[in-house]
A and B are shown apart, each in its own frame.
Chain A
Amino acid sequence: MLHTKIIDLTKESIRPEDAEEFIASSKFGASIVFYGTVRENNENKKVTGITYDAHNEMVVKSFKEIYNEVDEKLKIKSKAVFIEHVKGYVGLGEVSIIIAVACPHRAEAYTLSRYIIEEIKKRSPIWKKEHYQNEESEWLKGNPIQAN
């Protein structure tokens, strides 16, 4: 069971309650909700916010691919996965991504949650432009995308 979405912050907001609701089931004994948030410091620069950009279709495609390969790679068959990532400006402490997972047991829930965020970092076309206290801003360098 999978839910994925890119949230355009000019039109709507990201809602933790949607994640909790999606993964809630008595089939599962372990749930983990991961929030990525904007922190105030990066490489000794005082950050005031981040603008996220995304190739929507490719991002959603990558989320689905990551979910679909979990069966084989991690041998986790029974699961609920909710992934939403924002696009647009995010202020300090605000949420940029929610990954909520639910599995029958805690070991697989921890493994699954970690696996998803690490794969997103490697494979999903999402970019960050950091804004600083001195009013400058810059796109973060990132890593070349890995094609499947």
Chain B
Amino acid sequence: MKVKLELYGASRDLSKKSFIEFNIEGKSSIKDLKKKIINYVDSNFKGNNNFKKIVEASAFCSEDNNIISDNYIINKDQKIGIIPPIGGG
């Protein structure tokens, strides 16, 4: 399955594009996706600790714009947004 991870805020530094695509196994959870993103940081940014902290501190949101938990199961190709710590206004 494919996950299109849409980037926001500080996570935009993870790619020149506004998203990153990940191939994941069936019945993967958000927790598993987080591990994939950390591996991506290891491979592409020499394990940059600041980037890893951003990923660890982030929430994730579904296509229907709801915050989803670490146990949320990804059971089809879908877009997921990464929501780093917020501070607007």
A residues lining the B interface (CB < 8 Å): 36, 52-55, 57-58, 61, 85, 96-97, 117, 120-121, 123-128, 139-145, 147-148
Contacts and interface: CB of A to CB of B under 8 A. Distances in A.
A127 B84 contact: yes
Contacts of A53: 8-9, 12
Given A127-B10, A128-B87, A144-B57, 18 more contacts: A36-B89, A54-B88, A55-B61, A55-B65, A57-B65, A58-B61, A58-B81, A58-B83, A61-B65, A121-B86, A125-B83, A125-B88, A126-B88, A139-B9, A139-B10, A144-B59, A147-B59, A147-B67
Interface residues of B, number: 19
B88 A128 contact: yes
B78 to A, nearest CB: 15
Residue of B12, B87, B88 with most chain A CB atoms under a 10 A cut-off = B88
B7 to A, nearest CB: 9
A120 B89 contact: yes
A126 B61 CA distance: 14
A123 B65 CA distance: 13
